[in-house]
Amino acid sequence: MAWNIQDEWQPLEAVVVGIGVDMGRAPALEDTYDPQSRKHVQQGTYPKQADVIRELDTFADTLAQRGIQVNRPESLGFNQVFTRDLGVVIDGDFVLASMVKDRTQEQAGIAHLLEENMVKVHRPPDMVKLEGGDIMSVPGEIWVGCASAVDFGTYTTARTNRQAAEWLSTLFPNKEIRTFELHKSDRDAKRNALHLDCCLAPLGLGHLLVHPQGFRMPEQLSALLNHYDASHVHEITADEMERMQCNVFSIAPNTVASDQRFVKTNTILKNWGYDVIEIDLQETSKMGGLLRCATLPLRRTPIR
């Protein structure tokens, strides 16, 4: 199956879903690198491996039951829950991420998929830093969430820099690159937009979930919102953003996977006309990611 991703919502045909196997025990507080994980380590509520395995396996089974080809990373003895950050498929190419040092080994878990499918891989140069949660494809555009130069040198949660947007523009010259500078915090999850998909979700019927306070430069967000009817936009609060309510995952233009706890957001999605697949990732979310974070789409039905 040839890999191909042109947007966030065309019918999903193949995906990599993360695994909980080998994630191990809770890290030491000094070894956490996002505020959500830090909070749960401090509170003694960091998720148990068995619970994460159960949640991710159930999620993978739900997708497989819908006829989607579900791949999993190889179990290699380390945490491989959030596959989204390993890289991103754009059109038929794979853009490899340049991850924080503690996570680079995770990419070995999908090496077999890259080899088996003989996909063209773009490896970022040294000055480029990016993770897949900050990259979104929409028709004719690539959206990039990034940190300011100052924040990138200050916060562990700053994962993608402006050089990533510049590099992507050279790889895909026919696409407009739209950048969004995000707020960062290593200690306060309500003030930290870890990735773009933590505060923005474009949906297939022309709707948008957005947490406006996650964006450092209001003019960048305003330029995007000008393309949406106000009745098609739902704003996510800081409390909701911390619980990852923007981090939904489109299966098709009219089908969205969302966490079963998000009653208000799921009701709005249903009222907009979406079939909402309600998934339980409560324990997994304690590590700072949710549905989009745990999935790496490989192929969606190409736009003709």
170-186 exposure pattern, b = at least 16 Cβ within 10 A, e = fewer: eebeebebebbbbbbbb
Band the pLDDT of 77: cuts 50, 70, 90. confident
Q: How many domains does the chain have?
A: 1
Band the pLDDT of 79: cuts 50, 70, 90. confident
CATH code at position 172 = 3.75.10.10
Band the pLDDT of 99: cuts 50, 70, 90. confident
**Are 259 and 278 in contact, with CB atoms under 8 Å apart?**
yes
**Is residue 184 domain-resident?**
yes
**Is residue 130 domain-resident?**
yes
pLDDT of residue 24: 84
Q: Using the structure block, give the residue that is written with the tokens 């330029």.
A: 223
**Are 180 and 146 in contact, with CB atoms under 8 Å apart?**
yes
pLDDT of residue 209 exceeding 80: yes
**Is residue 4 domain-resident?**
no
Cα four-point dihedral sign 304, 206, 86, 262: negative
**Are 208 and 250 in contact, with CB atoms under 8 Å apart?**
no
Alpha carbon separation from 230 to 88, 151, 164, 214 (Å, rounded): 30, 31, 31, 19
Range of the domain at 240: 12-300
**Is residue 7 domain-resident?**
no
**Is residue 56 domain-resident?**
yes
Q: Whole-model pTM?
A: 0.95
